[in-house]
Amino acid sequence: MSITTTTHLNFRGEARSALGFYQSVFGGRTTIATYGDFGMPADLPGSENVVFGQVEAADGFRVMAYDIPGKPSAAAETASSTRRENGLTITDQPFFVSVRGETLDEVRGYWDELAVGASILEPLAASAWSAGFGMLTDSFGVTWILDVATARPES
């Protein structure tokens, strides 16, 4: 028996663009189904929005996304923020997406592409626990943590 977990990202009309961007960074295959594909009349607003979307790569990367239906509430329109203060990451986001690679070159390749148009919270650099660690918020508002895997002693 096995189980797989997948990060599921929620957007307001940007899911298709976000999935295309993540596919350009990580490779793999993109699957998209719209609300119209599932029966919403094409003349209704939002029928072209993504009800199910996924990028899946052979190396194990997988992310899902969809466009939240309807108009955003006032609370949803308030942008969440992640920032650095006094060496600490301060955030009100409920999650980050973590990508861990085997080598610094591998992680740097993903970093360089995700960083286009992003806010860099912590530049990709060696840290006390990894040969490379960095944090950024991409142009879609998703915060990513990228690092190089380090062997850890078993407890």
- pLDDT, residue 80, reads 62
Is the fold of 7-76 the same as that of 79-148? yes
State the CATH class of domain 7-76.
Answer: alpha beta
The domains of the chain are located at 7-76, 79-148
pLDDT tens readout for residues 36-49: 998 989 999 999 99
SS (H, E, C) the chain: CCCCCCEEEEECCCHHHHHHHHHHHHCCEEEEEECHHHCCCCCCCCCCCEEEEEEECCCCCEEEEEECCCCCCHHHHCCCCEEEECCEEEECCCCCEEEEECCHHHHHHHHHHHCCCCEEEEEEECCCCCCCEEEEECCCCCEEEEEECCCCCCC
CATH topology of domain 79-148: 3.30.720
pLDDT in tens, 64-113: 999 988 766 555 555 567 777 766 677 777 678 999 999 999 999 999 99
* Residue range 11-63, pLDDT digits in tens: 999 999 999 999 999 999 999 999 999 898 999 999 999 999 999 999 999 99
Higher pLDDT, 108 or 151: 108
